Amino acid sequence: MARKPKRPPRSPAIRARRPIARRSRSTPPTPGLDLHRCEQFLIHEARLLDEGKFDDWLALFTPDAWYWVPSEPDQPDPHQTVSLIYDDRRLLETRVRRLASPRMYSQEPRSRTSRIVGNVTIETNDRNACTVRSKFMMIEYRREQQRIFGGTALHRLVQSHGRVMIAWKRVDLVNCDAPLDGITIPF
């Protein structure tokens, strides 16, 4: 069961990394992806989600990104086992577009969420791409009921032209295999 997750090919953003020598002398070099920048990025992402700016959130993802919330602890693969959410880029766009629909009845009334991101560590790091591990807690309030979600997030962050983007994101909920009421707001 210790198979590595099958992942789509790396983002063009990584392959298109420019050699340092070709960078113009007149602009200062882009800083690498250090812990502070990663942490700031995750906080920014959480804020976009809490504020319901889902289009801006979607814009953080690379063109071939995937977003994954497994249904089992240590789930090795999104294609051989069901997932609470497994969206390739095309489905993620559809999900975000639906979130804006006035006829999304499972969001009538809308949820309000509040997230805390912490325990951020960099698991693997190249200069312009790294895998970041973090813990999160999210409170979701909707229609007189409050739910708490918590777990571990893994972000593959890539940097292209000075911009940080998400190549993939995996969210492992501590209660991923529990009976759950519907999940509509991304983690």
Partner 1 sequence: MTSTDDTFRSLVQPSRVHRWLYTDPAIFEAEMERIFGSAWIYVGHESQVRKPGDYVRTFIGRKPVVLVRDTEGEVRVIHNQCAHRGSLVVANDKGNTDEFQCCYHGWTYHLDGRLKAVPLQHGYASDFDPNNPKTAMVSAARVKSYRGFVFASEAADGPSLEEFLGYMTTSLDDMIDRAPDGEIEVAGGTFKHAYEANWKLYLENLCDAAHPLFTHRSSIDAAQQQSDAVYSDGSGEIAIRQMRQNGAPYNFWESQVGIWTYPNGHSYLGDYHDDAKLVAALKDPVFRDYIAAMEKKRGKAETRRVLEVRRWNSNIYPNLSFMSGFQQLRVVHPIAVDRTVVQTYNFRLKGAPERMFRNTISFANTVNGTGSLVLTDDLEIYNRIGMGLSSEGAEWIEIGRGLKSDAPDAHGGRRGKNSTSEVYIRNMFDAWLHYMADGCAAMRAAS
Of residues 150 through 179, those in contact with partner 1 by CB under 8 A are 177-179
Q: What is the nearest approach in angstroms of partner 1 to the Cβ of residue 171?
A: 10
Q: Does 104 bind partner 1 (CB under 8 A)?
A: yes
* Cα gap 135→42, rounded to integer Å: 11
The count of residues interacting with partner 1 (CB under 8 A) is: 42
Contact with partner 1 (CB under 8 A) among 18, 59, 81, 148: 81
- Residue 63's identity, in one-letter code, is P
Sheet holding 112-125, edge to edge: 83-88, 61-70, 163-173, 145-160, 129-142, 112-125
With binding defined as CB under 8 A, does residue 93 bind partner 1? yes
The closest of 184, 104, 98 to 141, measured between CA atoms, is 184
Three-state SS for 15? Answer: helix
Answer whether 107's CB lies under 8 Å from 184's CB.
Answer: yes
Residue 180 makes contact with partner 1 by CB under 8 A: yes
Residue 125 within binding range of partner 1, rule CB under 8 A: no
In sequence order, the β-bridge partners of residue 133 are 121, 154
Is 69 a binding residue for partner 1 by CB under 8 A? The answer is yes
- Neighbouring C-beta atoms of residue 65, cutoff 10 Å: 22
Contact segment (CB under 8 A) with partner 1 among 39-47, 91-99, 111-119, 146-154 equals 91-99
Q: Which residues bind partner 1 (CB under 8 A)?
A: 8, 63-64, 66, 69, 71-72, 75, 78-95, 97-98, 101, 103-106, 108, 177-184
